[in-house]
Amino acid sequence: MWTLRRLSRPLGAFRRLATSRNEGFLSRLEEELQSMRTAGTFKVERVLSSPQSGAVTVVGGSEPVLNFCANNYLGLSSHPALIQAAQATLASHGFGLSSVRFICGTQDVHKQLEAAISTFHGTEDTILFPSCFDANAGLFEACLGPEDAVISDALNHASIIDGIRLCKAQRHRYNHMDMAHLEEILRECVAKGTRQRMIVTDGVFSMDGDIAPLREICDLADKYEAQVFVDECHATGFLGATGRGTPELCGVSGRVDIINSTLGKALGGATGGYTTGPKALIDLLRNKARPYLFSNTLAPSVAGASLEVFKMLSDSAGLLSSLQANVQHFRSSMKAAGFKLSGHESCPIIPVMLGDARLATEMADEMLKRGIYVIGFSYPVVPKGAARIRVQMSAAHQPEQVQRCIDAFIEVGKAKGVI
Amino acid sequence: MARMDGVAAVRLSLLAMWTLRRLSRPLGAFRRLATSRNEGFLSRLEEELQSMRTAGTFKVERVLSSPQSGAVTVVGGSEPVLNFCANNYLGLSSHPALIQAAQATLASHGFGLSSVRFICGTQDVHKQLEAAISTFHGTEDTILFPSCFDANAGLFEACLGPEDAVISDALNHASIIDGIRLCKAQRHRYNHMDMAHLEEILRECVAKGTRQRMIVTDGVFSMDGDIAPLREICDLADKYEAQVFVDECHATGFLGATGRGTPELCGVSGRVDIINSTLGKALGGATGGYTTGPKALIDLLRNKARPYLFSNTLAPSVAGASLEVFKMLSDSAGLLSSLQANVQHFRSSMKAAGFKLSGHESCPIIPVMLGDARLATEMADEMLKRGIYVIGFSYPVVPKGAARIRVQMSAAHQPEQVQRCIDAFIEVGKAKGVI
Q: Quick one: pLDDT at residue B16?
A: 54
Q: What is the mean pLDDT of residues B217-222?
A: 97
Catalytic status, residue B250: yes
Q: Quick one: pLDDT at residue B15?
A: 59
Q: How confident is the model at residue B9 (pLDDT cuts 50, 70, 90)?
A: low
Contacts A71 to B, Cβ<8 Å = 114-115
Q: What is the mean pLDDT of residues B181-195?
A: 98
Closest Cα in chain A, distance from residue B429 (Å)? 22
Find the CB nearest A47 among B124, B212, B296. B124
CA A364 from chain centre, in angstroms, equals 22
Query: Hey, is the C-beta of B85 within 8 angstroms of any chain A C-beta?
Result: yes
Provide the percentage of residues in chain A whose pLDDT is more than 70: 95
Q: Quick one: pLDDT at residue B11?
A: 60
| Residue of A161, A111, A31 lying closest to B211 (CA atoms) | A31
d(CA B201, CA A251): 58
Query: Hey, is the C-beta of A57 within 8 angstroms of any chain B C-beta?
Result: no
Subunit contact B114:A28, Cβ cutoff 8 A? no
Looking at every residue in chain B, the average pLDDT score rounds to: 93
Looking at every residue in chain A, the average pLDDT score rounds to: 94
| Residue of B250, B228, B253, B199 lying closest to B364 (CA atoms) | B250
By C-alpha distance, the chain A residue nearest B43 is A280
Helix (H) or strand (E) holding B144: strand B141-145
Subunit contact A296:B314, Cβ cutoff 8 A? no
Closest Cα in chain B, distance from residue A78 (Å)? 5
Provide the percentage of residues in chain B whose pLDDT is more than 70: 92
Question: Is 60 exceeded by the pLDDT of residue B34?
Answer: no
pLDDT tens sequence across B260-316: 999 999 999 999 999 999 999 999 999 999 999 999 999 999 999 999 999 999 999
Q: Quick one: pLDDT at residue B4?
A: 52
Question: Is 50 exceeded by the pLDDT of residue A15?
Answer: no
Three-state SS at A208: coil
DSSP assignment string, B260-309:
--HHHHTT-TTT--EEEEESSSTT-SSS-EEEEE-HHHHHHHHHH-HHHH
d(CA B126, CA B123): 5
Contacts A150 to B, Cβ<8 Å = none
Query: Hey, is the C-beta of A293 within 8 angstroms of any chain B C-beta?
Result: yes
| ipTM (interface pTM) | 0.93
Q: Which of B4-8, B322-326, B368-372 has the lowest mean pLDDT?
A: B4-8
Q: How confident is the model at residue A232 (pLDDT cuts 50, 70, 90)?
A: very high
Question: Is 70 exceeded by the pLDDT of residue A11?
Answer: no
Question: Is 80 exceeded by the pLDDT of residue B12?
Answer: no
Q: Quick one: pLDDT at residue B78?
A: 83
Q: How confident is the model at residue A14 (pLDDT cuts 50, 70, 90)?
A: very low
d(CA B181, CA B193): 21
pLDDT tens sequence across A189-205: 999 999 999 999 999 99
Query: Hey, is the C-beta of B261 within 8 angstroms of any chain A C-beta?
Result: no
CB pairs A-B closer than 8 Å:
369
Q: What is the mean pLDDT of residues B200-221?
A: 97
Question: Is 70 exceeded by the pLDDT of residue A260?
Answer: yes
Closest Cα in chain B, distance from residue A195 (Å)? 9
Question: Which three-class secondary structure string do you get for B324-361?
Answer: HHHHHHCCCHHHHHHHHHHHHHHHHHHHHHCCCECCCC
Q: Which residues contact A319 (CB under 8 A, 6 or more apart)?
A: A74, A75, A238, A312, A395
Measured CA distances, B179 to A287, A413, B306 (Å): 21, 44, 11
Catalytic status, residue B413: no
Q: How confident is the model at residue A62 (pLDDT cuts 50, 70, 90)?
A: confident
Cis-peptide into A348, omega within 30 deg: no
